[in-house]
Amino acid sequence: MTEKTNRLKELAERSLQQFTPSVLLTVKQLEELGNELYDVMNTLEMNNLTLEGLQFIQNKDEARAFLALKKIFFYCLQTK
């Protein structure tokens, strides 16, 4: 009975070791990574808005071009 109990204990310890989560990044590293990702997302959003504005301008639709440029302008003001 003790041999079986010891084997069960050993199996339980092995399974715990396999599923123990490990810390790969510190809080500071995660924060820095989050800030970098936030900056990348803002840049992508700005690029998308710029492309939309250029597409409207290429279509020579003055009203849409004005609205797109206005949207880009106000977005730039918000991010600064």
Give the pLDDT band of residue 53 (cuts 50, 70, 90).
confident
- Does this model's pTM top 0.75? My answer is no
Q: Which helix (H) or strand (E) holds 26?
A: none
pLDDT per residue as tens digits for the range 11-51: 778 776 666 567 788 889 999 999 999 999 999 998 888 88
pLDDT at residue 56 above 90? no
pLDDT score at 80: 61
Q: Which of 22, 20, 31, 39 is nearest to 79 (CA)?
A: 39
Tokens read off for 48 = 């998308």
Domains of the chain, by residue range, sit at: 23-79
Dihedral sign (CA 62, 64, 67, 71): negative
pLDDT score at 40: 93
